[in-house]
Amino acid sequence: MGEAHPMEYTLGYGAATAGVHAEAKRIFEEAVEQMNSAQAMTGLPRMADNGLAGPEDPAAAAA
């Protein structure tokens, strides 16, 4: 996807809301890695806590 845009985390929330959890996770992870996005950092634990885009992972949700 290239370099993350400052508002890209918004696309992650849209993808998560639409039920496209694997794409949302990818967007959030990229935004965290490239921009240290606090907004994306809140999306990832929410997904981990709810078992979206992978098995439920309480340790990842608490990180």
**What pTM was computed for the model?**
0.70
Confidence at residue 41, expressed as pLDDT on a 0 to 100 scale = 84
Cα separation, 56 vs 36, in Å, equals 24
What the block records as the tokens of 2 is: 């290239």
For the chain, how long is the longest CA-to-CA vector?
A: 30
Cα separation, 23 vs 30, in Å, equals 11
- Residue partners of 39: CB distance under 8 A and separation at least 6: 9, 10, 31
pLDDT at position 55 over 50: yes
Express each pLDDT in 1-46 by its tens digit.
456 566 777 888 889 889 898 999 998 888 888 888 888 888 888 8
